[in-house]
Amino acid sequence: MLDDISSTPQGFTAEAPRVPSPAPLIDPFQRAISYLRISVTDRCDLRCAYCMSEHMEFLPKRDLLTLEELDRLCGVFIARGVRKLRITGGEPLVRRDIMHLFRRLSRHLESGALEELTLTTNGTQLTRYADELASLGVRRINVSLDTLDPQKFRAITRRGDLPVVLDGIAAARAAGMKVKINAVALRDVNADEIPDMIAWAHGLGMDLTLIEVMPLGEIEADRTDQFLPLSVARQRLESRYTLTPLPDRTGGPARYVRVEETGGKLGFITPLTHNFCESCNRVRLTCTGQLYLCLGQEDSADLRAVLRASPDDAVLAAAVVEAITRKPKGHDFVIERQRKAAVPRHMSVTGG
Ligand code: SAM
Ligand code: SF4
């Protein structure tokens, strides 16, 4: 059983002790890998139509890494210079006892070895967990929300209740966490709603990032019908707002502008119309311990096998280093009618 660590939010301020950073993991294209995203479950309480099929087959629980194994693996990455962890899924907050993992990982924030521990969530469980997450040093979270219309929300998620998510967002903000909203741009579903979402998010001091739908995993719909190129969405917004490009670079795929009329930040994640693989600083761990070097490529390393074969962290670290030498230059997503998904894994498996 993972032991509890009681901490106060004050333990995670800028005064956190500095520990010397280990040499970073460097891939063959000289990119330093400082960011690990961890999918802690492929399960979810929603079934967003662009993400999953209605009748998903989930992995048997025995295939999942235990929370202890996840903690051990994260520790190895941190010892090799990873500075930022994002917990994701599936829906991370539906994994049983998930707060044990956050409690364990928060020790790396306390020591200063880890700069940021964060979370991507659909928001349905936040009223329950927001206070504890904040107390463990989670300062910023991403909440995925594609519409502010309750009926549309029900239709997109096939089962969700919008007020539950809005209450969750309110709870996270009340707990002192900075919330960023992520919305997938869906051509005939929420394209017209983007200005309303900007007004709402920016009105509450939250950044909003728009995401192009990606061809990951088989679903019922044809994603060409869902796909809205963000170049088109941006053009439409430019007839209404003044968008000033911002220099912010997180090593991630988002590019940001300031909306002068609202004063808020708007991000664009455009893997289809423009990719930013050259600055990619991340790798992704699935809930079964597969390390994917790129969201859009198949190559992976089976860290679960290594982890279960040896209690020696040095062996695990060597497997991580070897995997990083295989990180590809980038992905080559295309969305074409009648074409199978570019990557067979759903986003919920690799971790969005
Ligand atoms: N359940 C959590 C959530 O929805 O935030 C975390 C996992 S979810 C897979 C992470 C992000 O991936 C969400 O913002 C979701 O909208 C996005 N996503 C899922 N499938 C996608 C797809 N095929 N293309 C683009 N974004 C996708
Ligand atoms: Fe669940 Fe997130 Fe996928 Fe929606 S996008 S089905 S909330 S994992």
What is the pLDDT averaged over residues 53-74?
95
Distance of CA 53 from the midpoint of ligand 1 (Å): 13
Residue 244 structure tokens: 């000033």
307 C-alpha to center of ligand 2: Å?
A: 28
* Ligand 2 centroid, distance to 323 Cα (angstroms): 28
User: For ligand 2, is residue 95 a contact (CB within 6 Å)?
Assistant: no
Which residue puts its alpha carbon closest to atom 8 of ligand 2? 90
For 1-5, 23-27, 100-104, 108-112, which range has the lowest pLDDT when averaged over its residues?
A: 1-5
Residue 6 C-alpha to ligand 2 middle, in angstroms? 31
pLDDT at 216: 75
pLDDT of residue 12: 46
Which residues surround ligand 1 with Cβ inside 6 Å? 44, 50-51, 88-89, 91, 120-122, 144, 182, 184, 211, 213-214, 216, 347-348, 352
User: Quick one: pLDDT at residue 349?
Assistant: 74
Structural contact between residues 148 and 197, judged by C-beta atoms closer than 8 angstroms: yes
List strands edge to edge, sheet with 207-212.
243-245, 254-259, 264-269, 207-212, 178-185, 140-144, 116-121, 84-88, 35-39, 282-285, 290-292, 300-302
Distance CA 315, CA 301 (A): 14
CA 219 / ligand 1 centre spacing (Å): 13
Residue among 347, 348, 350 whose CB has most ligand 1 atoms within 8 A, to mutate: 347
Work out the number of other CB atoms within 10 angstroms of the CB of residue 47.
18
The residue whose CB lies within 8 Å of the most ligand 2 atoms, and thus the one to mutate among 58, 120, 122, 181, is 122
Q: Which of 2-16, 65-79, 240-254 has the lowest mean pLDDT?
A: 2-16
Q: How far is the CA of 48 from the centre of ligand 2 (A)?
A: 5
Q: CATH for 35-350? A: 3.20.20.70
How many angstroms does the Cα of residue 295 sit away from the middle of ligand 2?
16
User: How many whole angstroms from 142 Cα to the centroid of ligand 2?
Assistant: 13
Task: List the domain boundaries for the chain.
Answer: 35-350
Query: pLDDT tens digit string along 236-282?
Result: 999 999 999 998 766 677 899 999 999 999 999 987 766 678 888 89
Q: What is the pLDDT of residue 249?
A: 67
Q: What is the pLDDT of residues 305-323, one digit of tens each?
A: 999 999 999 999 999 999 9
Q: Is the beta carbon of 171 within 6 A of some atom in ligand 2?
A: no
Backbone φ and ψ of 338, nearest 5°: 65, 0
C-alpha span between 232 and 22 (Å, rounded): 43
Q: What is the pLDDT of residue 4?
A: 34
Residue 121 structure tokens: 């969530």
Out of 103-107, 137-141, 269-273, least confident range? 269-273
pLDDT value at 324 more than 60 = yes
192-220: per-residue pLDDT in tens? 999 999 999 999 999 999 999 887 778 77
Count of beta carbons in the 10 Å neighbourhood of residue 112: 15
> In testing the pocket of ligand 1, which one of 184, 197, 275, 333 has its CB within 8 Å of the most ligand atoms?
184
Burial class of residue 59 (count of CB atoms within 10 Å of its CB; 0-12, 13-18, 19+): middle
Ligand 1, pocket-test mutation among 211, 272, 345, most atoms within 8 A of CB:
211
Nearest-CA residue for atom 5 of ligand 1: 121
Distance (Å, rounded) from C-alpha 166 to C-alpha 153?
Answer: 12
Give pLDDT, residue 345.
73
Q: What pLDDT, on the 0 to 100 scale, is given for residue 217?
A: 79
Quick check: 96 pLDDT over 60? Answer: yes
Name which of 47-56, 101-110, 166-175, 214-223 the model is least confident about.
214-223
Question: Considering only CA atoms, which residue is closest to atom 4 of ligand 2?
Answer: 48
